[in-house]
Structure 1
Amino acid sequence: MFSKKLTAILLLAPFVFAAPVEDVGKRQSVDTSQHCGQWDTVTAGQYTMYLDQWGKDNASSGQSCANVVSLSGTNLAWQNTWTWQGGSGVKSYTNINLNANLNKQLSAIQNIDAAWSWSQTTSGSIVANVAYDLFTSSSAGGSNQNEIMIWLANFNAGPISSQYNSDGTPKPVASNISIAGHTWNLYSGSNGANNVFSFLLTSGTAQSFSGDLNLFLKYLTSSQTLSTSQYLTTVQGGSEATSGTAVLTSSTYSVTIA
C-alpha cells in the first residue's frame, strides 16, 4: 500500500510543480521609484531612462520627474511629469535611451522597429514636443554629427530650421513625405554642433505610433545629405519640454534594431 501511494505521488509531482513556471521572466524587476534629479538615470533591460534637464538653469522654477512603471520583454511603460516656468528654450528632454545593437553603419541596418503608445494631460498652454531623437557619427561611438528628430506631437514649439517663411515660421525643405503610415514635413538646420533633420507631422499627433524608424534614415540617405557610411550612435524617445505643466504617460515603448 505504501509503495503504491509513493509511486502515485512521484508520478503526479512533475505536473504539480511545473505549472507555475510558465510566466517566469516575462515581467522583469526594475526600479519603479520616482526620480527628479537633473541628471538621474534608471537602467531597465536594454534601456536607460535619462532625466536630461540640461536647460534647467534657464527656468525661473520647475523640474521634470519620471519613473519606470514596468518592463516586459522589450516593452517599457513609463511616466514623465514636468513643470517649467520662465526663461527661454528647452529645459528638459526626459527620455528612454536604447543601449542595444547601436554603432552600426546605416548601410548595415535592416530595420529599427518602434512602437510607442502615449497620452498626455496638461495644465493650461504648454510648449513642448513628443519625439524620437537619433544621432549619427562618422565612427562607431564617435562624436555626434547629425541629429534626426521624428516629432509625434508638436505643442506650440518649432523645429530647428535654416529657412523661414515671410511670416517667420520655419520653412520645410521637403513636404508631404509618406513614411510609416503618416505624412511629414522635413526641416533642416544646425544647432551649432550638429546638422539637424526634423520630421514633423503635417497635422495632428501620432499617439499610437508603430513603424520602422530606419525608413526615415533611408529617406535622408536617398533624398538629402545623410551618408550611408554614418554610424547610428543613439536612439531615444521622450518629450522636449520648454514651458507649462504636463504628464506624459507611455503605456507602450519599444525599440529594437536589426
Structure 2
Amino acid sequence: MDSCSIRCLIADMTKTRNPTSSRSLTRMNSYSPDPANADVSYDAFVSTGSCGAGHKAEIMIWLAAYDLTPISKTGATPHTLNAIPGWNLFIGTNSQTGVPAYSFVARNSPMKTYSGNLMSFFDYLKSANFIDGTEYLQELHAGTEPASGTSVTFTTSSFTLSSS
C-alpha cells in the first residue's frame, strides 16, 4: 500500500488496549485521471499485543473502490449495515497474512472527502463479536492500492489523525 504509516504509535501513546478510543480521520483525495482498478482506504491492523505482536485482524475502510472488490467469502455480496449507515461490510481472510479481513466500503464511492471517527467501525466489529475489544491498534495506514493503471496521480491534500 502506498501510504503514510503510523506503527504502534496510537497504542503506545494512549496506553490502552482498546482500539475504539476516539480516533478521528479527515482526508480529501483525488485521482487524476480516474484509475481502472484501485482503492482509496484506511487500513488498520489489530493485535493481542502492542509493537511486535502478530496481527489478529485487518480492518479496512474504503472511501473509493474503482472497479475493485474487497476480500470477501461471499464475492461481491456485502453485509448491509444498518448500524453504520452508508457503509457495507465485506468479510474474508487476507491470503497474505492469514488473518480475518473486515472491509467497510462506502456505498457512495468514491468519497472525495471524509471526516469521521473510526470508533463506529471498531464498535460494530466488537458488538458483532468479530473482535473482542482487547486488541491493540498496532498499525494504521492511509493511501491507495492500485491494481492496474499507468501515469495516474493520487493526491491527498489534507490528512489529520487525532486521539483523545
TM-score interval, normalised by the smaller of the two chains: 0.7 to 0.9
Could you list the runs of 4 or more consecutive aligned residues of structure 1 that deviate by over 4 angstroms after TM superposition?
Answer: none
Q: How far, CA to CA, are the matches of 1:221 and 1:234 in structure 2?
A: 18
Match of 2:62 in 1: 151
2:50 aligns with one of 110, 131, 140? 140
CA RMSD, 1 decimal? 1.8
CA contact (8 A) 2:10 2:137 kept: no
Q: How far, CA to CA, are the matches of 2:112 and 2:102 in structure 1?
A: 21
Whether 1:110 and 2:10 are equivalent positions in the alignment is no
Post-superposition Cα deviations, 1:177-215, rounded to whole Å, max 9, x if no partner, equal 454xx6011010101321100001123321110010121
- Letter of the 1:105 partner, please give it: R
Whether 1:254 and 2:164 are equivalent positions in the alignment is no
1:235 aligns with one of 112, 136, 140? 140
CA contact (8 A) 1:95 1:238 kept: yes
Match of 2:2 in 1: 94
The structure-2 alpha-carbon separation of the partners of 1:224 and 1:163, relative to structure 1 and needing over 3 Å to count, comes to farther
Q: How far, CA to CA, are the matches of 1:178 and 1:250 in structure 2?
A: 29
Q: How far, CA to CA, are the matches of 1:177 and 1:252 in structure 2?
A: 29
How many equivalent pairs are there? Answer: 156
CA contact (8 A) 2:25 2:159 kept: yes
1:197 aligns with one of 98, 102, 107? 102
CA contact (8 A) 1:102 1:257 kept: no
The structure-2 alpha-carbon separation of the partners of 1:153 and 1:177, relative to structure 1 and needing over 3 Å to count, comes to farther
- Letter of the 2:11 partner, please give it: L
Match of 1:206 in 2: 111
Q: Percent identity?
A: 27
The structure-2 alpha-carbon separation of the partners of 1:130 and 1:177, relative to structure 1 and needing over 3 Å to count, comes to farther
Structure 1 length as normaliser, TM-score? 0.57
- Letter of the 1:147 partner, please give it: E
What is the CA distance between 1:156 and its match in structure 2? 0.6
State the secondary structure of the residue aligned to 2:68: coil
Q: How far, CA to CA, are the matches of 1:204 and 1:94 in structure 2?
A: 20
What is the CA distance between 1:110 and its match in structure 2? 2.2
State the secondary structure of the residue aligned to 1:106: coil
State the secondary structure of the residue aligned to 2:121: helix
In terms of Rg, which structure is larger? 1
Match of 1:50 in 2: none
Higher RCO (CA < 8 A, seq sep 6+): 2
Match of 1:226 in 2: 131
1:183 aligns with one of 74, 79, 86? 86
Match of 2:71 in 1: 160
Q: Which runs of 5+ in 1 are unaligned?
A: 1-92, 165-169
Q: How far, CA to CA, are the matches of 1:102 and 1:118 in structure 2?
A: 27
Q: How far, CA to CA, are the matches of 1:236 and 1:102 in structure 2?
A: 14
Q: How far, CA to CA, are the matches of 1:149 and 1:188 in structure 2?
A: 10
